[in-house]
Amino acid sequence: MRKQDRQRIIKKMIQDNAIYRQEDFVSLLSAKGIEVTQATISRDVKEMRLIKVPTPDGSYRYSLPTTKKDNTEKKLRKVLRDAYLVSDCHRDLCMVKVLPGNGPALSSLISQMNYDEVFATLGDDDTIMLFARSNEDALQIERKLLALIDDK
C-alpha cells in the first residue's frame, strides 16, 4: 500500500475513533487487512504532524493538527480571491486559471490541504491542473475552491 493511501486511512481513523497509542493504529489497520509496523506508524505520525489532545477522562488521544490546515486554508482563500480567473472540469481533471505568477503557489497550497478528492496537482505560471480521483471528485473540488472564494 502506498504511504499516501495509508495516511488517508489513518486520517479517517482519527476522525472516526479515539486512538490513544500507536499500537491502536497498527491493530485497526490490521483489522482492515493492512499490515504495518509500529515504526511505520511512528514515521506517519511524525510526517502527518499528529498531536495528542486531552480527553474528558484525563487520557490523551491522537488528533489531526488544526492550526496548519487553518493557516493553509486562509492563504488558499486569499490567493484564490486575489488571482482566480476561471475554472473548468473534464472527466477527472479540473483546470484553474489564475493571474500570472500565482500557479505554483496555488498548486502547493491545494496540495497542502490534502483534499481527499485530489490525487495530484500541477501548477505552472497561470494554470493549475488538479488530477481528481473520479469525475465526481473533480466537480467536488471545483465546488470547494469556488466556495472559498465566495465564503465571507
Segment 119-152, tens digit of pLDDT: 999 999 999 999 999 999 999 999 999 999 997 5
Write down the mean pLDDT value for the chain.
92
- With both helix axes pointing from N to C terminus, report the angle between 3-16 and 22-31 in degrees, rounded to the nearest 10: 100
Element (H, E) at 52: strand 51-54
Give the model's pLDDT for residue 65: 80
Q: For residue 25, what is its C-alpha cell?
A: 493504529
CA 76/CA 82 separation, integer angstroms: 10
Q: For residue 3, what is its C-alpha cell?
A: 504511504
pLDDT digits (tens, 9 = 90+) for 44-68: 999 998 999 998 898 999 998 865 6
Band of residue 14 on the pLDDT scale cut at 50, 70, 90? very high
Which residues are CB-neighbours of 133 under 8 A, at least 6 positions away?
92, 116, 117, 118, 119
pLDDT digits (tens, 9 = 90+) for 102-125: 999 999 999 989 898 999 999 999
Q: Which amino acid is at 130?
A: L
